[in-house]
Amino acid sequence: MAEPDTHDDVAKVASHTLAFLRSLDRKMDLVLETQARHTERLGRLERDVAEVRRDLTEIKSDIALPENKTLTATNGNSFAAASHRAIGGARDRSV
């Protein structure tokens, strides 16, 4: 008579164990889905940060270009004016 009770107990333990394992499996699936979503978001964020860095580099070069042109023009004008004065001054002295 002890055997049927033991068999029923074993069946109950097995049933509860399987139910517990199924619940763990569902929880693991949920965690993996959440991780996949966050990985996708992180990938998008990394891509956006890379685009912002590239844009900032372009902006820096766009700012540097007019600055270089201005400095070149300023230095060029100073040089041209100085050379014009030097050449003009030499002509005025020779006359």
The pLDDT score that the predictor gives to residue 30 is 98
Among 4-8, 33-37, 74-78, 82-86, the range scoring the smallest mean pLDDT is 82-86
DSSP string, the chain: -HHHHHHHHHHHHHHHHHHHHHHHHHHHHHHHHHHHHHHHHHHHHHHHHHHHHHHHHHHHHHHHHHHHHHHHHHHHHHHHHHHHHHHHHHHHHH-
Q: 47 or 79, which is more confident?
A: 47
The pLDDT score that the predictor gives to residue 7 is 84
Q: Is the pLDDT of residue 43 over 70?
A: yes
The residue extents of the domains of the chain are 1-69
What's the CA gap between 37 and 30, in Å, rounded? 11
Rounded to whole angstroms, the maximal C-alpha distance in the chain is 140
Q: Is the pLDDT of residue 92 over 80?
A: no
Query: Pick from 64, 83, 63, 85: which is nearest to 75 by CA?
Result: 83
Q: Which range, 12-16, 67-71, 87-91, is most confident?
A: 12-16
